[in-house]
């Protein structure tokens, strides 16, 4: 049918339009038409832009009235006059609607957190979840993002600083910054007030604890042996020293992660910082410590159960208390064990790749990381035994049962 119609279609014409065979166009006005098929009737518009033909479909008559179709047609004609393809514009609007997750801070924060958490460590999840739930959402949760400026956020941060300290307040700002970065990427806002507030307060510098010197390691073991705390806690620290894993990886470990027969400890991915399972070869000294520890865990799933419950591990701060009591407060911490072992092994000529792999560090060179999948397991086994023989030289043996020389104590940390 030719487009020579000047008057809009009437409601009767629209409702009575039918075909039992070939589809046809029933024109309305200004290029708007109704495509009538044997199963449906839809409002459409054919146009040309940039030498190309295009068609925009406004919708079916069952879901779009004639007046609404004409309104959308006017909008499409305005877009076309501005050089914008109306069909492409409609697709983008639909995609934006499908990707929509609300404009409030809490809705955006949830979308950001959910999109990241599966690939992040448990510590990351717990930290950001806490800052959102406790510090940000109660005040900003229901506020539209575009209404949150730097002054509003600053008031929140000052409140956190008064209640919880400046370091926590800065971490809260960093969480907010990531939420707003996410909102910018999703075209929710154009500015990030948390980035504007970078440097809003002087944060005390992080204290970097030096590793123990080689001649101090034996003294550390002697002080640990002489400490009056519980044997379980001291074995925890000794195993940290022998395996140089992160504190949380040791404190929260479970018995089912250990294969004693094959002398390996496999830390599951969900407990690792970089979300990759990590294998720790166990030296003879480490196996002896585990044997001594077994009856002290009272059949708990955890190697180091809490005093208050066998169903949860000891507090992460417990080893630090022992370090303080041993006289290392302010200069050596559980985390410093990793640097101590790394320094000693590097000085012994152990290959850096082997040490870094045992430390579960991520290769910073992305190209190298993509190709270097080596585990260096034979070298790591020898390295761990060499380190253990240095830490506990009296325990070097060719096969006799080892007894780690730590006194049995009943006092807890």
Enter the tokens of residue 34: 């109704």
- Looking at per-residue pLDDT, the higher value among 377 and 368 belongs to 377
Task: Answer whether residue 349 shows pLDDT above 80.
Answer: yes
The partner residues of 245 in beta bridges, in order of sequence, read none
Of the pLDDT bands very low, low, confident and very high (cuts 50, 70, 90), residue 366 is very low
This prediction's pTM: 0.53
- Looking at per-residue pLDDT, the higher value among 366 and 93 belongs to 93
3-state helix, strand, coil in the chain (%, to 5): 50, 10, 40
Q: Is the domain 105-196 a CATH 1.10.150.130 member?
A: yes
Separation CA 268–CA 274 (nearest Å): 11
Q: What is the mean pLDDT of residues 289-315?
A: 92
Residues 6+ apart with CB under 8 A from 120: 275
Q: What angle do CA 151, 202, 134 make, to 5 degrees?
A: 55
Q: Is the dihedral of CA 280, 282, 286, 290 positive or negative?
A: positive
Which is catalytic among the residues 70, 182, 188, 246? 246
pLDDT tens-digit readout, 15-31:
999 988 899 999 998 89
Round the average pLDDT of the chain to a whole number and report it. 86
- Looking at per-residue pLDDT, the higher value among 209 and 58 belongs to 58
Q: What is the mean pLDDT of residues 365-393?
A: 77
Q: What is the mean pLDDT of residues 378-388?
A: 95
Domains 11-98 and 214-395 share a fold: no
Which is catalytic among the residues 294, 312, 331, 361? 361
Residue 19 Cα distances to 25, 38, 66, 345, angstroms: 11, 5, 19, 85
Q: Which CATH superfamily is domain 214-395 in?
A: Intergrase catalytic core (1.10.443.10)
Which is catalytic among the residues 6, 22, 364, 371? 371
Do the strands 264-267 and 278-281 form a parallel or antiparallel pair, or are they unpaired?
A: antiparallel
Instruction: Assign domain 11-98 to its CATH architecture.
Output: 2-Layer Sandwich (3.30)
Q: What is the mean pLDDT of residues 42-57?
A: 90
pLDDT tens-digit readout, 77-123:
998 888 888 888 887 776 655 455 678 999 999 999 999 988 887 77
Q: What is the mean pLDDT of residues 326-349?
A: 90
Going by C-alpha positions, the residue among 214, 211, 218, 212 that lies closest to residue 394 is: 218
Identify whether 335 is a catalytic site residue: yes
Residue 113 Cα distances to 149, 160, 373, angstroms: 21, 21, 30
Cα dihedral angle (82, 87, 93, 98), rounded to 10 degrees? -170
Which is catalytic among the residues 335, 348, 351, 368? 335
Separation CA 26–CA 69 (nearest Å): 14
Separation CA 72–CA 160 (nearest Å): 49
pLDDT tens-digit readout, 146-156:
999 999 999 99
Instruction: Kindly state the DSSP code that residue 314 receives in the 8-state scheme.
Output: P
pLDDT of residue 261: 95
Which is catalytic among the residues 25, 134, 254, 273? 273
Identify whether 273 is a catalytic site residue: yes
Task: Answer whether residue 410 shows pLDDT above 80.
Answer: no
Share of the chain above pLDDT 70, in %: 87
Q: What is the mean pLDDT of residues 161-189?
A: 91
Separation CA 322–CA 412 (nearest Å): 10
Q: Taking a C-beta distance cutoff of 8 angstroms, is the pair 14, 41 a contact?
A: yes
Identify whether 72 is a catalytic site residue: no
Enter the tokens of residue 124: 């990351």
Q: What angle do CA 169, 174, 175 make, to 5 degrees?
A: 95
Q: Taking a C-beta distance cutoff of 8 angstroms, is the pair 230, 409 a contact?
A: yes
Residues 6+ apart with CB under 8 A from 297: 232, 255, 303, 304, 305
Which is catalytic among the residues 41, 128, 247, 338? 338
The string of DSSP letters for 31-100 reads: TEEEEE-SS-EEEEEEEEETTEEEEEEEEETTTS-HHHHHHHHHHHHHHHHTT--HHHHHHHHHHHHHT-
Backbone angles phi, psi at 36, to 5 degrees: -105, 120
Identify whether 371 is a catalytic site residue: yes
Per-residue burial over 67-90, b if 16 or more Cβ lie within 10 Å, else e, is eebbebbeebbebbeeeebbbeeb
Helices 336-347 and 377-391 sit at what angle, rounded to 10 degrees? 100
Instruction: Give domain limits for the chain.
Output: 11-98, 105-196, 214-395
């Amino acid at each position: 049918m030719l487009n020579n119609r000047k008057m809009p279609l009437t409601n009767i014409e629209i409702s009575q339009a039918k075909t039992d065979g070939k589809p046809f166009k029933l024109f309305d006005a200004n290029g708007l038409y109704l495509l009538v098929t044997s199963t449906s009737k839809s409002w459409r518009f054919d146009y040309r832009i940039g030498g190309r033909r295009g068609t925009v479909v406004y919708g079916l008559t069952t879901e779009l009235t004639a007046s609404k179709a004409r309104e959308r047609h006017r909008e499409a004609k305005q877009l076309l006059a501005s050089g914008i393809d109306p069909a492409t514009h409609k697709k983008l609007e639909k995609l934006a609607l499908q990707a929509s997750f609300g404009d409030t801070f809490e809705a955006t924060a949830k979308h950001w957190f959910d999109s990241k958490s599966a690939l992040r460590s448990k510590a990351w999840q717990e930290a950001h979840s806490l800052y959102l739930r406790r510090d940000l959402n109660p005040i900003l949760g229901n506020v539209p993002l575009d209404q949150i400026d730097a002054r509003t956020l600053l008031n929140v941060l000052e409140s956190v600083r008064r209640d919880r300290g400046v370091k926590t307040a800065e971490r809260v700002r960093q969480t907010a910054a990531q939420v707003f970065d996410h909102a910018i990427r999703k075209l929710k806002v154009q500015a990030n007030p948390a980035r504007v507030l970078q440097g809003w307060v002087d944060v005390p510098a992080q204290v970097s604890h030096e590793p123990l010197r080689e001649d101090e390691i034996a003294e550390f073991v002697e002080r640990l042996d002489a400490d009056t705390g519980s044997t379980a806690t001291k074995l925890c620290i000794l195993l940290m020293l022998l395996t140089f894993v992160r504190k949380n990886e040791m404190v929260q470990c479970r018995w089912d992660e250990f294969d004693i027969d094959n002398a390996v400890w496999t830390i599951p991915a969900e407990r690792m910082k970089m979300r990759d399972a990590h294998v720790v070869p166990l030296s003879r000294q480490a196996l002896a410590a585990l044997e001594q520890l077994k009856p002290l865990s009272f059949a708990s799933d955890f190697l180091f159960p809490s005093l208050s419950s066998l169903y949860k591990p000891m507090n992460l701060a417990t080893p630090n208390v022992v370090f303080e009591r041993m006289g290392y407060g302010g200069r050596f911490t559980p985390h410093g064990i990793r640097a101590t072992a790394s320094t000693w092994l590097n000085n012994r000529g152990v290959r850096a790749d082997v040490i870094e792999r045992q430390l579960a560090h991520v290769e910073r060179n992305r190209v190298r990381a993509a190709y270097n999948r080596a585990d260096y397991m034979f070298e790591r086994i020898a390295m761990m035994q060499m380190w253990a023989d240095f830490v506990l030289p009296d325990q070097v043996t060719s096969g006799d049962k080892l007894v780690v020389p730590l006194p049995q104590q009943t006092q807890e940390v």
